[in-house]
Structure 1
C-alpha cells in the first residue's frame, strides 16, 4: 500500500513568498520544514465549494492544495526537515448522530442554512482527500450513525457521507450504536445478556442492516466478514508492511457475538487487534478521568483480558474524552480510549481524530481536530470554533514498544525503514496554516447593579439578591419585578395538603455569573423527586404576564448554576421556569403529552437545557423544543432563548453560542387560563407540583421581542 502514497515536499521560500502575509506567518510558526504536501490549506472566503485564494481575514474558506516543492536550507528556504519516520494514521469518526439529524429538512437543514455545508460530509471528504498524503489506510466509525433510527432522511445523510469514502476507495469499519437500533436498552449485569442484544432483534426490521448491510461492507477491500446477525464485522488492513485487525462490535453484542469475535481472533492469531465498540469506557464527573462501566467490564472479562492480540480499544457513546491503560492476563498493556463530541458546540463541530502509529519511535500520537471549522464562512465563526483541541485528554502520545508488545503472538513484527515525515504535526500545520481562531469577545463584568441594557420591551425581570448569604428566603417573600408589573412570591411549603418543602431549602447566596449585574442569587437546596421536596416562586393569579402570548417574538434569559450534587435519578427534568396549565386543554393542541405545561424551561436527565413551548398560533399546534448540549454542574451559565416571528425560528444560546438543536415554525406562546401562573424553580405535571430546581438562579428576564446579543443581560449599558 505504501507504493501508492504520493510523495510530497514542503514549500520553497519563493513559493512561501507567493502566499498572503498571514498565511506565511502561520506556516513559519508551524515549522516551514514540515512537508504539507497536498494537505488542507484553507482560503478565508467562505464555504462555497470553490478553490478560492486566501484573503487577509484570518479564518474560513474552502480547501485548496498548496505548492509542493522542497526548500533548500542553504538558500534560506526554511528549517531542515524533521527526521523521517515509518508511520501511518487511522481516521476515527466519533458519534455522528446530530450531523445526520440536523442536516435533514425535518430539522430545518440547520447546518446548510448557517454554514452552507455539513459536518459529516466535511469529515469524510477530508479523509478521502488526504488518505494518501497522511498515509491513512483505514477509517473507523464509533457508532450512533444517526440520532433517530426510524427516520430515513437521517440515514440518507449518513449514507451519502460514508459513500464518499467508498468512492475514494478508503476502507472503513462501521457499527450500530444505541441510536441505530430499534430497542435501546443498556446493559446492567450478566442477566442483561438474555434481552435486547443482537440475538433478540428482528433483523429484517433493523434500519442499520438495510442501510449498511453485509453486501455493502463486503465492498471494502479490507473486509474480513460479519457474524450471522450482520451487526458485527472485522477488517484487516495493511500499513508499513504489517497487517492489523479491526474488530467492530455493535451495540449490546450477544453471547454468540462474543463467541464469534473470539473465533475471529483465533483464526488470525498473529495480528495485532483494535477492538471497536460503541460503549466500553466512560468518563468521570471531572470530565477527563476514566470511569469503567458494567458493559465494558463484561467485555474485558469475556473478550479482552485473555486475548493478548487486543492492544487497543476505541468507543464513543459517553460525552467527552478519556483514556485508561489496563493490564491483561499476559501482563501487557491495553489502551482503552473513549471519545464523543456530540454534546459539544454544533453537535460536535465535526471534531474527529487521527491516531498516528509511529513505528520508528514506538508511539501512538492522538490528535483531535475539526476539518470543517476552517472552511466555515468567516462571518459565521465565533470563539467556540476551535480547529485543533489542545487539552491533555484531546491531544496526547502513548508510549508503546510495538515489537515488544506484539512479541508473544507476532515475533516477526518489525518497523520498516523510515519513509515519511511525521503525520500529526503535518495535519496540525495544514489545518492552522490559513486559519486564525476567532478571538473571545471582550466581555466586562458589570460596574454596578444597573450596568446592563434596559430594554423597553421587558415584560418581567426578576433579580435574586437582597438577603445575607446563607440566610433563609422566608415563605411569602416577594421578589420584585423590575418593571413593577409581575412580582413573584415564595410559595407555601404545603401543596394540596402535603408538605413538599422545608423553609431552609431556599436561601440567599452571594455568588453569581461573572457577567450578571445582579450581585447575588437564590439557592434551591435538598431538592428531590422521590420523595418530592421542592421550593419555588410563582406570580400571582392576576399577573399580566400569565396571559402574554409573545406574538411579536420574545427573548428569555436566565443565569443558572446546576448544583454539583445533581443526579439524574433525583433531579432529571428539574424546572427553571414553567407556565402552569395542562396544555392538552388548550384549543388546537395536537401531539405530545397533554399533561405537560405550555412553557417548559428545564434541565433534562442528561443535563441538557430544554426550552419547550406550545406556540400561540391559531388552529392546530404542536409543542416545539430547543435543546442545549450537556451543561456542567457547579458552573454558572447564561441561557438566552430568542424567538423571531419573521424568521419563524427559535434559537437557544448558551454562554453566547447558538445551540444545534433549535426549533422552527413556532410563533408566540399559548396559555390555558388567565389565572395559570408562572412558576420559578419548579413546575407541574397533570396539575401536580413536581421537578423542583436544584442549584442557583441569578436573574430571569422576559422581553416581548427578539433581542440581539448586544441587548442581553451579559452586555453592558450604553455609554
Structure 2
C-alpha cells in the first residue's frame, strides 16, 4: 500500500491547518483532460453506516471527496458514481447530512447518485413519488452538472454523458427497483446516445465467498429487459451485497459484459467511504482497478490503528485487477476521412508523395508526382531479380495518414529483389542541404509474420557515398550520406552525415512491432536530430552536432538504401505518405495531426 505514499502528502493536506489554527484556503479544482487516452471512473458504494441517525460520521466521505478533488488531475478522474444506500434509514436528518457532505464536490467533480433500498421506501419501485432522497439528490441538484442528460419522469433514474479519452461515455444510474416505464426511458437514452455505456444500480448481482458473481432476481430482470440486447453496455456496477465479486456474461451479440459488485459496508468503519478507481487506458486497451480508503490514507502512518492499516487498501482478486478490453474493436471510432494534399502542404514543404491518385501505376518507369509543387517527382524502378508483385498499390494505411493508400514492397536479400522510387537527376531535393533544419516523415508497416532476413533494409535515403562528400567519420565511406533503415532486430536506424563538420550522429529506436502501422519522423532544428516513433521521442538520439545533410546532388530514394551506389535489397512491408519539410516541426504538426499532442 505504501506505493501510494506519493499521494499521501496531497491527501493529508486536507487535514493540515495553518499556524494560526485555521483551515487553509481551498485550492481550485484540478483540471481534467478529456483528450488524454487515460482516465479514471471513481466508484463509491454503500455509505449507509456513515449516515446512521445519531451515530453518523461524514468525516470519511469528506476525506474521500477531498482526495478525488486533489487527485483529479493526476489520475484524470472523469466522474464519480455512487451505487446507492447513501444512508441507513433514509430519514430527512440522514439525507440532509449526506446532501451537505456532497456539496464538497458539487460543481467540481461530475457525479451520479442513485437510490438504494435504505434511502427510500424499498417496497416500491421508482413510481413511489416524493421522498427526502428525491428532494435532496433529484433532478434539481443533478441538472447543475455539465454531464447531466436528464432523468426519467419520476426523477429516480438519471443519465450522464462523459467526455473522456477523446470519446463520449454514457452512464445510466438506475433506481433500486426500476419500473417498466423506467426501463423504457433507459432504452430510449441508449438509442439517443450510441456510446459505450455503463449501467450503475444498487441491486444487480451478488457473489459467493470466492468472488464469483451471479445475477440476482432483479439483476436478471435488468439483464433480460435492458442489458442483454444493448451491445453498447459493456460494464455494470452495483453495491447492496457483500462480499464483492465479478463475472463476465455474454450479451445477445456474443460480446462480453463485465458485471462487478462493489460494497465494503461490512468492513471496518462501515467501509470508511472506500472507493474504487477504474483506470481506463485506451492506449494499452486495459482497465486497471484499485480499491482503497482515502480517509485512512490521509492519516499519519505512525498513528494509524491496526484496523486502519489493515483496511487502507484491498488487494484481493475482486478488489484489485485488470481487464483486457479492445475499445476500438468493440466500439470502433469513426475513421478520419482522407485529407487533400493542400491541407498538409505549405511553403516550407520540400516534397510530399502519396499513393492514392486515381489510376496510379507502379510499373517500371511510371511516375509518382511530388504534390508539394517543387518538382521532385519519383520514377518507379524494380531491382534485377524482381517481378510485378515486388511493388503493388494497397488500400492499407495508417489511421492518421492523409492518404488512404500505400505501396506494398516485397523486397529481400534475393539478391537484388525490391523496388525503388527515385527522383530525377535534376530534382531540387537532390542537392538540398537543409542547414536551418528539416523534418522527414514516413508511414511504415512491417508484415506479420515477418518472414525472411531483411536486416538493414532501407526505408528512404539520399544516394551518394559519404567519402565523396568529404565525410570519413562513419562506418564506411561507401554508405550514403543520409538514410533511414531497419536493423535485423527491427530497430529503426537514422544515419546522417551532416553538411557542417565531419559528424555522423546515428539514432536508434526500440524494436518496431510487426503488423501495425507506425509514423516515423526525423526532426532536425539545425543543431541536432531527434527521431520520433508515433509522436514519441526515442531514447537513443545522440547530442552530437547535426547541421544540414551532406547531399552530393544524387537522387533521393524511397524503398531502399544504396551502398557504393548499388542496391542489393529492397524494403519489405508497406510505406505510406512521405513528406519532407524544410523546418523542424512539433509532434502536433506531424502528418497524423491531432493524434499527437
CA gap 1:30/1:235 in 2 versus in 1, 3 angstroms = closer
Residue 160 of structure 1: aligned partner: 100
Structure 1 runs of 4+ off > 6 angstroms?
Answer: 62-65
Aligned counterpart in structure 2 of residue 98 of structure 1, from 42, 49, 73: 49
Q: Report the 3-state secondary structure (helix = DSSP H, G, I; strand = E; otherwise coil) of the residue aligned with 1:137.
A: strand
Q: Report the 3-state secondary structure (helix = DSSP H, G, I; strand = E; otherwise coil) of the residue aligned with 1:91.
A: strand
Residue 119 (str. 1) matches residue 60 (str. 2): yes
Residue 74 of structure 2: aligned partner: 133
Which of these two proteins has the greater Rg computed from alpha carbons?
2
Q: Report the 3-state secondary structure (helix = DSSP H, G, I; strand = E; otherwise coil) of the residue aligned with 2:103.
A: helix
Quote how far apart the aligned CAs of 1:129 are: 1.8
CA gap 1:213/1:292 in 2 versus in 1, 3 angstroms = closer
Quote how far apart the aligned CAs of 1:388 are: 1.7
CA gap 1:382/1:243 in 2 versus in 1, 3 angstroms = same
Residue 213 (str. 1) matches residue 213 (str. 2): no
Aligned counterpart in structure 2 of residue 50 of structure 1, from 17, 30, 41: 17
Residue 497 of structure 2: aligned partner: none
CA gap 1:394/1:250 in 2 versus in 1, 3 angstroms = same
Residue 370 (str. 1) matches residue 311 (str. 2): no
Cα distance in 2 for partners of 1:319, 1:51 equals 41
So what's the TM-score if we normalise by structure 1? 0.43
The answer (yes or no) to whether the contact 1:403–1:411 under 8 Å persists in 2 is no
Q: Report the 3-state secondary structure (helix = DSSP H, G, I; strand = E; otherwise coil) of the residue aligned with 2:266.
A: coil
Aligned counterpart in structure 2 of residue 277 of structure 1, from 201, 212, 217: 201
Which string of whole-angstrom CA distances, capped at 9 and with x for unpartnered residues, describes residues 234-264 of structure 1? 0001012110000110110000000110011
Which string of whole-angstrom CA distances, capped at 9 and with x for unpartnered residues, describes residues 7-51 of structure 1? xxxxxxxxxxxxxxxxxxx98x779xxxx5xx442698x985427
Quote how far apart the aligned CAs of 1:135 are: 0.7
Residue 177 of structure 1: aligned partner: 116
Quote how far apart the aligned CAs of 1:132 are: 2.0
Which string of whole-angstrom CA distances, capped at 9 and with x for unpartnered residues, describes residues 49-74 of structure 1? 4279xxxxxxxxx9999xxxxxxxxx
Quote how far apart the aligned CAs of 1:161 are: 2.1
CA gap 1:51/1:298 in 2 versus in 1, 3 angstroms = farther
Give unmatched runs, 5+ long, in structure 2. 28-34, 337-397, 401-597
Aligned counterpart in structure 2 of residue 87 of structure 1, from 35, 38, 53: 38
The answer (yes or no) to whether the contact 2:37–2:166 under 8 Å persists in 1 is no
Cα distance in 2 for partners of 1:244, 1:230 equals 21
Residue 197 (str. 1) matches residue 125 (str. 2): yes
Which string of whole-angstrom CA distances, capped at 9 and with x for unpartnered residues, describes residues 341-389 of structure 1? 1111110022111000010110111100010002346546124533221
CA gap 1:331/1:382 in 2 versus in 1, 3 angstroms = same
CA gap 1:340/1:43 in 2 versus in 1, 3 angstroms = closer
The root-mean-square deviation of aligned C-alpha atoms, in Å, is 3.1
Residue 250 of structure 1: aligned partner: 175
CA gap 1:138/1:416 in 2 versus in 1, 3 angstroms = farther
The answer (yes or no) to whether the contact 1:274–1:311 under 8 Å persists in 2 is yes
The answer (yes or no) to whether the contact 1:89–1:134 under 8 Å persists in 2 is yes
Which string of whole-angstrom CA distances, capped at 9 and with x for unpartnered residues, describes residues 548-600 of structure 1? xxxxxxxxxxxxxxxxxxxxxxxxxxxxxxxxxxxxxxxxxxxxxxxxxxxxx
Residue 351 (str. 1) matches residue 252 (str. 2): no
CA gap 1:43/1:361 in 2 versus in 1, 3 angstroms = closer
Quote how far apart the aligned CAs of 1:131 are: 1.5
CA gap 1:224/1:296 in 2 versus in 1, 3 angstroms = same
Which string of whole-angstrom CA distances, capped at 9 and with x for unpartnered residues, describes residues 107-128 of structure 1? 2x5x4xxxxx711111112112
The answer (yes or no) to whether the contact 2:235–2:259 under 8 Å persists in 1 is yes
The answer (yes or no) to whether the contact 1:367–1:396 under 8 Å persists in 2 is yes
Residue 146 (str. 1) matches residue 94 (str. 2): no
Q: Report the 3-state secondary structure (helix = DSSP H, G, I; strand = E; otherwise coil) of the residue aligned with 1:299.
A: helix
The answer (yes or no) to whether the contact 1:240–1:416 under 8 Å persists in 2 is no
The answer (yes or no) to whether the contact 1:42–1:63 under 8 Å persists in 2 is no
Cα distance in 2 for partners of 1:92, 1:63 equals 27
Aligned counterpart in structure 2 of residue 310 of structure 1, from 223, 233, 239: 233
After superposition, where does 1:248-647 map in structure 2 within 5 Å?
248-269=173-194, 271-284=195-208, 286-376=209-299, 379=303, 381-385=305-309, 386-407=311-332, 411-412=334-335
Cα distance in 2 for partners of 1:94, 1:245 equals 19
Cα distance in 1 for partners of 2:399, 2:164 equals 10
The answer (yes or no) to whether the contact 1:40–1:64 under 8 Å persists in 2 is no
Residue 230 of structure 1: aligned partner: 155
Cα distance in 1 for partners of 2:266, 2:225 equals 31
Give unmatched runs, 5+ long, in structure 1. 1-25, 53-61, 66-83, 112-116, 186-195, 418-719
Residue 709 of structure 1: aligned partner: none
Which string of whole-angstrom CA distances, capped at 9 and with x for unpartnered residues, describes residues 454-497 of structure 1? xxxxxxxxxxxxxxxxxxxxxxxxxxxxxxxxxxxxxxxxxxxx
The answer (yes or no) to whether the contact 2:275–2:291 under 8 Å persists in 1 is yes
CA gap 1:43/1:264 in 2 versus in 1, 3 angstroms = closer
Q: Report the 3-state secondary structure (helix = DSSP H, G, I; strand = E; otherwise coil) of the residue aligned with 1:320.
A: coil
Residue 608 of structure 1: aligned partner: none
Residue 9 of structure 2: aligned partner: 41
Quote how far apart the aligned CAs of 1:330 are: 0.9
Cα distance in 2 for partners of 1:310, 1:231 equals 20
The answer (yes or no) to whether the contact 1:85–1:359 under 8 Å persists in 2 is no
Which string of whole-angstrom CA distances, capped at 9 and with x for unpartnered residues, describes residues 642-664 of structure 1? xxxxxxxxxxxxxxxxxxxxxxx
Q: Report the 3-state secondary structure (helix = DSSP H, G, I; strand = E; otherwise coil) of the residue aligned with 2:245.
A: strand
CA gap 1:382/1:416 in 2 versus in 1, 3 angstroms = farther
Which string of whole-angstrom CA distances, capped at 9 and with x for unpartnered residues, describes residues 389-424 of structure 1? 1111110001110011113xx5559x999xxxxxxx
CA gap 1:51/1:337 in 2 versus in 1, 3 angstroms = farther
Cα distance in 1 for partners of 2:161, 2:260 equals 20
CA gap 1:85/1:237 in 2 versus in 1, 3 angstroms = closer
